[in-house]
């Protein structure tokens, strides 16, 4: 049933039609109140709370669809990685360094794909900080050095203002 037919039959929109209009207006930057007012002016009495609920429902549906798409992508990628690993496994087991290195890289990529990298604890100056394994020790040291420089500069500003 079209919106025009709904309009002629008592100013009702189906929930799906209303949500489509609400989503379009919301993404364009309209507020909940202005969307409700706009739909009411078109003859479809709509409250601000209905608009809020519609926006939440639209985004929940998008989130669910996104998660399904991501899951499908991960499944395809897993099968690709697994095929490449299996194709090179025998050579790696025989001592082929290139095949072994390829397998190691593929397994690392699989860990990234599934978020399977664990955090490690690094003790530094008596404090313990957790960082992702993806950050190298050199990157972490550089980050800590930059933080110390920023802290010293902040302290100097503080001392000057006293």
Each residue's pLDDT tens digit, 79-102: 888 999 999 999 999 999 999 999
- Cα separation of the two ends of the chain: 72
CB 147 within 8 A of CB 131: no
| 57-67 confidence digits (pLDDT tens) | 888 887 777 77
Confidence category of residue 8, pLDDT binned at 50, 70, 90: very low
Lowest mean pLDDT among 1-5, 49-53, 55-59, 102-106: 1-5
Angle in degrees, CA 52, 58, 64, rounded to 5: 135
CB 71 within 8 A of CB 56: no
Residue 120 phi/psi, 5-degree rounding, is -120, 160
Count CB neighbours of 19 within 10 A. 20
112 vs 106: CA distance, rounded Å: 10
At a CB cut-off of 8 Å and minimum separation 6, what does 43 contact? 7, 11
Q: Encode pLDDT of 117-157 as tens digits.
A: 665 555 556 555 554 555 566 776 777 777 777 777 666 66
User: What's the full length of the chain, in residues?
Assistant: 162
């Amino acid at each position: 049933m079209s919106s025009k037919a709904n309009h002629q039959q008592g100013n009702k929109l189906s929930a799906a039609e209303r949500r489509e209009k609400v989503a379009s207006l919301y993404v364009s930057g309209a507020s909940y109140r202005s969307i409700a007012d706009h739909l009411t002016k078109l003859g479809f009495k709509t409250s601000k709370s209905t608009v809020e609920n519609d926006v939440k429902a639209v985004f929940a549906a998008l989130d669910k669809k996104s998660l399904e798409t991501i899951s499908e992508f991960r499944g395809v990628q897993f099968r690709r990685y697994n095929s490449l690993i299996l194709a090179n496994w025998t050579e790696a087991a025989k001592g082929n360094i290139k095949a072994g290195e390829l397998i190691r890289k593929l397994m690392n990529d699989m860990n990234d794909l599934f978020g399977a990298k664990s955090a490690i604890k690094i003790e530094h100056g008596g404090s313990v900080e957790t960082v992702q394994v993806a950050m190298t020790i050199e990157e972490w040291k550089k980050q800590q050095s930059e933080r110390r420089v920023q802290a010293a500069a902040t302290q100097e500003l503080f001392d000057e203002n006293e």
